[in-house]
């Protein structure tokens, strides 16, 4: 199963989540655990109805962690954040 990296940031006790391989998909939680739960739910929902900037539909395969580390934009986004791997589609 593909693993998408979620970037979780703590903003004074409120946690935001973004996905470097799913531009524009963001969610949040009142604590870390809720942020992770919301990230799983957001990725699952997006996977069903996502439209990419180029007009294609469906989530594109995620980059590997090694590939992400070669991306300066990812490195800037990830600095000071917590990274979590989220499997999609979610295993039952």
Per-residue pLDDT of the chain (92 residues; tens, 9 = 90+): 889 999 999 999 999 999 999 988 999 999 999 999 999 999 999 988 888 778 888 888 999 999 999 999 999 999 999 999 999 875 55
pLDDT value for 49: 85
Give the span between the Cα atoms of 40 and 4, in whole angstroms: 10
* pLDDT value, residue 70: 97
As a residue count, the chain comes to: 92
CA dist 59 and 50 (Å) reads 6
Give the per-residue pLDDT at 90.
58
Predicted TM-score (pTM) of this structure: 0.88
- State yes or no: cis peptide before 53, omega within 30 of 0: no
Domains in the chain (CATH in brackets) are: 3-87 (3.30.160.250)
Of 10, 77, 11, 6, the closest CA to residue 36 belongs to 6
């Amino acid at each position: 199963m593909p693993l998408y990296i979620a970037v979780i940031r703590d903003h004074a006790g409120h946690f935001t989540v973004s996905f470097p391989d799913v531009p524009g998909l963001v969610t949040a939680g009142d604590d870390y655990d809720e942020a992770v739960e919301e990230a799983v739910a957001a990725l699952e929902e997006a996977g069903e109805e996502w439209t990419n900037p180029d007009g294609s539909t469906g989530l594109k395969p995620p980059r590997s962690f090694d590939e992400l580390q070669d991306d300066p934009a990812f490195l800037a986004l990830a600095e000071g954040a917590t990274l979590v791997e989220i499997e999609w589609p979610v295993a039952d």
